């Protein structure tokens, strides 16, 4: 929670108090109220410039005490002004309660609004990071899949074709010999596939 913006708080408080002041006291209340508003702006600027405690509970307590002190100061200034102007100063003391309530309400709303905007910004940043990571993983997957397809169609397929042609050219002396030669062809193709896969993996790690 942070201190209420001075100008916004003063304008809101003036809009709430001025009609009652004119009805209860009359035009004589305008001058004391104007002086009190100047005091409010100065006090609000001073509170906004103060370094407040970082923990939440002490921070709120300090703000409550400061705004209560400003409310008492405002009521005293307005009461003195009314007394000098010949009006009834008693009505001014309700501001000692009204102003702290208004200032703390404005501070709460402003702090909540700022917190919501910060959370939205963090959420959007995290979402963009996830989208970028997903796109990167998908790009790497597509690249590896294309490389694997080229490996199968180039190296392994050529080994299998060469093995099939050799079997056709010299069928051998029986099914056992044919089976052995097929196993040799498949093993050779598998070894070539494994070797090229390891080479591809090493190149990928070096690139990263």
Same domain for 88 and 156, yes or no, is no
pLDDT at site 38: 85
- How is 165-191 classified by DSSP, letter by letter? HHHHH---SSHHHHHHHHHHHHHHHHH
In a domain, 134, yes or no: no
Q: What is the mean pLDDT of the chain?
A: 77
Same domain for 149 and 202, yes or no, is yes
In a domain, 73, yes or no: yes
Q: At which of 97, 128, 159 does a domain end?
A: 128
pLDDT at site 53: 82
What is the domain count for the chain? 2
Tokens encoding 51: 């370094």
Domain with 202, as residue range(s), is: 140-207
Q: At which of 128, 155, 175 does a domain end?
A: 128
Stated pTM of the model: 0.58
Same domain for 92 and 146, yes or no, is no
CA 49, CA 82: separation in Å to the nearest integer? 31
Of the candidates 46, 39, 25, 30, which has an alpha carbon nearest to the alpha carbon of residue 77? 39
Question: pLDDT tens digits, residue range 143-202?
Answer: 777 776 666 666 556 656 666 666 566 555 555 455 666 666 666 666 666 666 666 566
Per-residue pLDDT tens digits of the chain, which is 208 residues long: 777 788 888 888 888 887 877 777 777 777 777 888 888 888 888 888 888 888 878 888 988 898 889 889 888 888 888 788 777 777 778 888 888 899 888 888 888 888 888 888 889 888 988 888 888 888 888 877 777 666 666 655 665 666 666 656 655 555 545 566 666 666 666 666 666 666 656 665 555 5
Same domain for 26 and 62, yes or no, is yes
Same domain for 69 and 154, yes or no, is no
């Amino acid at each position: 929670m942070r201190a209420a913006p001075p100008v916004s708080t003063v304008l809101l408080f003036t809009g709430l108090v001025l009609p009652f002041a004119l009805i209860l006291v009359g035009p004589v209340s305008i001058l004391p109220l104007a002086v009190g508003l100047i005091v409010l702006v100065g006090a609000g600027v001073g509170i906004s410039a103060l370094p407040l405690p970082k923990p939440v509970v002490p921070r709120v307590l300090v703000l409550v005490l400061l705004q209560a002190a400003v409310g008492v100061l405002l009521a005293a200034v307005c009461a003195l002004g009314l007394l000098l102007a010949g009006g009834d100063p008693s009505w001014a003391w309700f501001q000692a309660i009204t102003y702290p309530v208004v200032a703390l309400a404005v501070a709460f709303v402003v702090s909540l609004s700022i917190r919501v905007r910060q959370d939205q910004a963090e959420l959007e940043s995290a979402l963009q990071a996830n989208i970028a990571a997903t796109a990167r993983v998908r790009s790497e997957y597509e690249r590896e899949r294309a490389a694997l397809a080229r490996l199968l169609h180039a190296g392994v397929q050529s080994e299998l074709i060469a093995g099939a042609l050799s079997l056709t050219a010299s069928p051998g002396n029986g099914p056992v010999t044919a089976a052995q030669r097929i196993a040799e062809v498949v093993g050779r193709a598998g070894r070539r596939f494994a070797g090229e896969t390891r080479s591809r993996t090493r190149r990928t790690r070096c690139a990263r």
